[in-house]
Structure 1
Amino acid sequence: MTSETETSSSADVLQDLDSGWFIYTIKQIELGLRIPTEEVAEQAGLTTAQFTALAVLERWPGITSSELARRSFVRAQTMAENVSVLLESGFIQRERDPENMRRFHLYITDTGHDTLSSGRSAMDDLEAKLLVALTPRDREEFAKHLRNVRRALRDLPR
């Protein structure tokens, strides 16, 4: 149970935050991660967007290109370009939807899994360095809050 002192000090911290502090801090984190994540993806022979697309397809096999774009927070046209490269490289395959012949479902191939795995341990190491100061419980709470913020993004225009 949270004590009254903890509650009031938490409220004081929030009052001290300038308008836009969260967005600014999230952007700082994103920019700080850009080069390390690009390096990890590059070592696997991919761009960051391609690495992300493979990771998304590994988790949600059979989604469409437009769904892949939504889950990767990029425009459909941008994802179409990445999908073309991934198809040509043999990292993913597409299968026609038997119920809608114009729709294709995307799947990561064994080559795609191997390529993704080659970068996964470096990505895991990077993540561990970021979270080293958090206890396991703090990590669970942080993950919960990040998922909530990510869900809220779905309602924003792109």
Structure 2
Amino acid sequence: MTHATPKTRDDLFAFLDGLDIKHSTKNHAPVFTVAESVALRDEIPGGHTKNLFVKDKKDQFFLLTVEENATVDLKTVHTRIGAASKVSFGKPEKLMEYLGVVPGAVTAFGAINDTGGNVTFVLDADLMEEMIINCHPLSNDATTSIASADLIRFMEATGHKPLVLKVTS
């Protein structure tokens, strides 16, 4: 089965522009961990994200987008997100197949590549209190800032209804 080539950052920006969503992007050296990206904090205001790509035993996939320093209890989070069982991390192949990204570049913007609606997107309620949310634009060598309300508008435009739930402790 062949999959469409994942959309690029330019595709993402064109899509946002088409929705009249304001966004700004700062390029930087590739970052793979929250620790590496902390150096950018002074330059990029707003809520910074970490993303957990998880699945349940029925192969339902979820992307949890939370504030970078928040903790998610993987033993209990399934009770909040509607998973059929405890969750485990999804494999990199599925990450590429569904969201068009590699580990280290996981982002809520991956919704643009999930044309089959295979992933349920969960935005942490605490994160959504931030005016501005920062996510990778499908690659980890840049950070894109977008208003939290516009992030939801973007997801809805991709055919996803994100769940805004408190999934962190």
Q: Which has the higher contact order (CA 8 A, sep 6+)?
A: 2
Higher strand share: 2
Normalized against structure 1, the TM-score is what?
0.24
Return the TM-score normalized by structure 2.
0.23
Higher-Rg member (1/2): 1
